Structure 1
Amino acid sequence: MVINCDIEVKYCSSTQTGAVCFIFLNRIPPLCFIMGERHPSTAGFNENAAHSCGRHTSIMHTKIKEPFSHSYGFRFREVPSFDLAQIQGVGWENRTSADYYWDGMQRGDEGLMLFQYTLSGRGSMMLEDQIHPLVPGKAFLVWIPSRHVYFFPKDSDHWEYVYILMKGERLYAPYLEWIQKMGHFPEFQVDSPPIRMLNTILEKAKQRQITDSFINSSYAYQFAIELSRSTSVVHAQPPMPDAIQKTLNYIELNYDRIGNLDDMADFAGLSKYYFLRQFQRYTGMTPLEYLNKLRIEKAAGLLRTTRQTVNEIASTVGFTDGNYFSKVFKSWVGMPPGKFRSEQSLAADHLFLN
């Protein structure tokens, strides 16, 4: 069955899982395909599903067990001459049939990375001869081609998920790092940065705002960065205890007068050694390293915005010895204070260190 959808959608046809709308936009080169849902109250193709191709719908809010598929693919005539990661497909789907089955060695594609995150229901993946349940909050991360199979299990009533499929050999090295740090089955809160970024990409695709290969690539790298950030010490940690947060605020206000580790531990109300372990766990550095970092940041601003001597600045930010200050400054910034003051290539009045 073929019907007209609107000016831009050339034709739609009924499929087993929904309405496939092929879109040719005159103002941009890519061909995008968009899956509209089959309306549950009708046995055949529903014309409203075709018009829903351009409709704005936020994901992760609808809890239904009827099958649907909102999937977007990207192919561009004009691509950069240098290699960039690209989003090949992104989507939000709900499966209810055991016919849903993908073999990672028989897809006919190469150099692809797939991230798929379960919103509700349950799916399954076989990897290394073990079956892994894919329950809400759990994702899987695989390279294509590789030996894996993911499918809809017969004892599940539905499997609702979002996914992103990215292409590019440049992704392989970070993919291996992600697997090493979080495995093939990472868990994320639905409001975590990677899932929020995936939601953003899906919304941009729905609104037809991913209009060329460069925009496409920028979103691919933004998602990759959020995955990397999620594996870092800072972003993988539990919420910071009140005692440590209170101490960070204390250091910010008193960096120029704090004497030693004992002062900070006393303020936190913890034993010195327990405080040291807790502080390092939640900040990634020791209390004295954090104090010196803050002092050097303040000193960098003074070097660029005042005429104070190096020794005067050292005293202002809490160092009692100018030579030691210069040594610490160089270890953090990579150059002594005097050179930083005259350096023109770093045109910044404030410096942030980590």
Structure 2
Amino acid sequence: MYNITKLTFVAWGDLIIEPISYAFRNEDKSILTIDSIGWQKIHSPEYSFAGDERPDCGHVIFQYTLSGQGYIDYEQQCIPLPKGTGFLVKVPSRHRYYYMDHQEPWEVIWLNIRGEEANRIWDLVVEQEGPIIRRDAASPLIHSFWKLLRMIAEEKVTDKYLLSVQVYEWMLTLVQTSRELSKDISANSSTVIQKAKSFMKEHYALPLTLDTLSEHCGINKHHLCRLFQKSEQTSPLSYLRDRRMEVAIAMLRTTDLPIHEVGGRCGFESTSYFGKVFRAYMSMTPKDYRMKRLEFPYHAIYYE
């Protein structure tokens, strides 16, 4: 049985206008489930939670500061939590988050989740960013949180499967934004990378070189390679080869063009080189792939 406890709720129209929170009680451990979710303004210095003393265990916690400031003790450090910062912890674990008596209340949103996948995602993000994360209030992660809270508050969605889908979507946003932050690519560098990627997607059939690509992007080829590796975890020429292979696979499946012509149209300099690259990707020749329609019925394969 999936029970929901409504802790506080005031909403008007499409906007939640005052703090609101919900708790869910569910014994289903086979899927991701919400333990609790909410928006809260904390005024009392009695607000304090120690992760190794709580009676409720087996979930992960995301909590984010909208305004004011709280603190978390983590690995013998007292870390302030001002506006725009949040934390990721597990229960049980050795941590304590709390509010000290300030003039301004500590305004937070939180999402507590149960499930093995939540633990895995927490480990992944904490390894990459640490337990303290920083996001703008207009970021996709926070936008996704409000979407989830509105589903419950306004649309009255309580079905555990529907909520599980939305929680997983929120966690994917957490992973994606964490990885984007780890790239540490400036806006100008990001523009250069997108320009290079677009050029390769449009001109994959041409005999492109690093010199051609860097000249198009207006930067040194060595600098382009460093930027590309940092952002995409691959080289520009490997990225180009992936795009050529995608087109070649689609052409083998959707046209009757001779194999040498497919290779030529996709930018491969010779039939033998096309065959060598194709075998490295697909563990078979282009001819074998074309014949094995039952085993490989795909009209396209993507290597993004």
TM-score, scaled to structure 1: 0.77
Q: Distance in 2 between matches of 1:140 and 1:333?
A: 43
Give the one of 67, 72, 75 matched to 1:120.
67
**Aligned pairs for 1:148-163 within 5 A:** 148-163=95-110
CA distance in 2, matches of 1:284, 1:106: 42
Paired residue for 1:242? 191
Residue 316 (structure 1) aligns with: 265
- Deviation sequence 1:195-227 (CA, Å, 0-9, x none): 222111111111244322222322232222222
Tell me, yes or no, if structure 1 residue 147 matches structure 2 residue 97: no
Aligned CA distance change for structure 1 residues 287 and 55 (closer, same or farther; 3 Å):
same
Give the alignment partner of residue 242 of structure 2, picking from 280, 293, 314.
293
Report what 1:33 is aligned to.
6
CA distance in 2, matches of 1:106, 1:208: 35
Mapped partners of 2:57, 2:274: distance in 1: 54
Deviation at residue 138 of structure 1 after TM alignment: 0.7
Counterparts of 1:237 and 1:218 in 2: how far apart (Å)? 30
Aligned length: 301
In 1, Cα distance between equivalents of 2:103 and 2:116: 35
1:173 aligns with 2:131: no
Unaligned runs of 5+ in 2: none
Distance apart, 1:315 and its partner CA: 0.4
State the TM-score, normalized to the length of structure 2.
0.89
Alignment CA distance shift 1:108-1:332 (3 Å): same
Q: Percent identity?
A: 27
Q: How does 1:148-227 map to 2 (within 5 A)?
A: 148-227=95-174
Q: Which residue of 1 aligns with 2:85?
A: 138
* Relative contact order higher in (CA < 8 Å, ≥ 6 apart): 2
> Are the counterparts in 2 of residues 332 and 353 from structure 1 also a CA contact under 8 Å?
no
2:31 to 74, 84, 87: 84
The structure richer in helix per residue is: 2
Deviation at 1:339, TM superposition (A): 3.6
**Distance of 1:278 and 1:305 partners within structure 2:** 35
Question: For the Cα contact (< 8 Å) 1:299–1:314, is it kept in 2?
Answer: yes
Which residue in 2 is equivalent to 1:65?
none
Q: CA deviation at 1:167?
A: 1.4
State how far apart, in whole Å, the 2-side matches of 1:57 and 1:30 are. 25
Partner of residue 252, structure 2: 303
Equivalent pair of 2:57/2:91 in contact (CA under 8 Å): yes
Moved over 6 A (4+): none
Distance 2:210 2:13 in 1: 55
Contact 1:89 1:164 in 2 (8 A): yes
Larger Rg: 1
1:129 & 1:237 partners in 2: Cα distance? 28
